[in-house]
Amino acid sequence: MILPSTHSIFPAALTPLAIGLHVTGGTVGLLAGTVAVLAPKGERLHRIAGTVFFASMLVMAGFADYLGLVLPDQLPNFFIGTFAIYLVATAWITVRHEEGTIAFADKVACVAILCLCLPFTMLSFELATGLKPLLRSAMPLEGPVRIAIFVFTFFMVLAASGDVRMLWAGGISGARRIGRHLWRMCLGLSMAAGSAFTNGLPRLLPHGVHVPLSLLFIPQLAVLALLVFWAARVRFTGWYTRVSLAS
C-alpha cells in the first residue's frame, strides 16, 4: 500500500493560515519572553509574562510542526518545533508541581526528549563524518545551519540527561529546580529569537537590502548570555535563598 503524502492529508489552503499563526505566536512570545526575563523574578508581572510566553510558544512551535510536515523537505523543522514545545512545557511543569515530586508529565517528557535525541544524534554524526544525511532538508546543512544542528543536539542530550537524573532522584528542589525552569525557558526564547531574526527578518527585508549575518545573531546570543548569567546567579550565589526568604 502506498501511503498518502502530507500534501494530500493536509489541505493546502491551511498553509498560509498556519504561517500567520506561527509568526503571530512567535512575535507575542518574543515580547512576553523579553518582559519575563527583565521583570523581577517571582513577581506578578514575571508570572503573567511567563504564562503568555508559554502559551504563545506552544502556538508558534505547534504550527512550526504542522509546516514541517506539510512543506517539502522540512522534517528537521518538525523536530526542532517539537523540541521547543518540550522545553517550555517542562519548564512550566517544573514550577507548577511541588518540589521533590515527579509528575506523570515528567515521565512523558523524558520519553519525548529521548526520542528527539535519536534523529539529531544520528544527523550530527552524519554531518561530522561526511556521510549523506538520511533526513532531507530544503536548506543546505552547511555553515551556520550545521553549527545549529550540533548545538541543538548538545542541548537535547543535556536535557535528556537532566530528565533521567531527575526521575532517578525522585524529584528536584531548591536552586536546581529554579535553574531547570530558567535554562529551558531562556533556551526556548533564544530559539524564538533565532527563528525571527535569522530566518524570518531577512525574508521581510526589501529586495536589495542586506543585513550582515553577524548582526542577526545578536538577539539570540543576548538571550543566551542572559541564560548563562541567571544560571550562574541561581546556582552559585545566595540569590535564590534571599528571594525565598523574602517571599
Q: What is the pLDDT along the chain (247 residues), one digit of tens a residue?
A: 333 344 444 556 688 888 889 989 999 999 999 999 888 887 889 999 999 999 999 999 999 999 888 887 778 888 889 999 999 999 999 988 888 889 899 999 999 999 999 989 998 998 888 888 877 776 777 777 788 889 899 999 999 999 999 999 998 888 888 889 999 999 999 998 888 887 777 777 777 777 777 788 888 889 989 888 888 888 887 766 666 645 5
Does any domain span residue 71? Answer: yes
For cell 529521548, name the residue. Answer: 114
pLDDT of residue 243: 60
Range of the domain at 70: 10-240
pLDDT of residue 13: 65
Does any domain span residue 3? Answer: no
Name the strand (E) or helix (H) holding 7. Answer: helix 6-9
The span from the CA of 6 to the CA of 71, in Å, is: 8
pLDDT of residue 154: 94
**To 10 degrees, the CA torsion angle through 52, 56, 57, 62?**
150
pLDDT of residue 165: 94
Does any domain span residue 208? Answer: yes
Single pTM value for the model: 0.86
pLDDT of residue 3: 34
* Number of domains comprising the chain: 1
pLDDT of residue 11: 57
Q: How far is CA 22 from CA 67, 78, 145, 192, in A?
A: 9, 13, 21, 11
The span from the CA of 174 to the CA of 154, in Å, is: 25
Q: How far is CA 207 from CA 184, 196, 202, 204, 210, in A?
A: 36, 18, 10, 9, 8
Does any domain span residue 111? Answer: yes
Q: How far is CA 201 from CA 44, 195, 207, in A?
A: 32, 9, 12
Does any domain span residue 2? Answer: no
Does any domain span residue 1? Answer: no
The span from the CA of 85 to the CA of 113, in Å, is: 11
The span from the CA of 64 to the CA of 142, in Å, is: 22
One-letter amino acid of 90: T
pLDDT of residue 135: 73
Burial class (CB in 10 A: 0-12, 13-18, 19+), 142: exposed
Does any domain span residue 4? Answer: no
Does any domain span residue 81? Answer: yes
End-to-end CA distance of the chain: 62
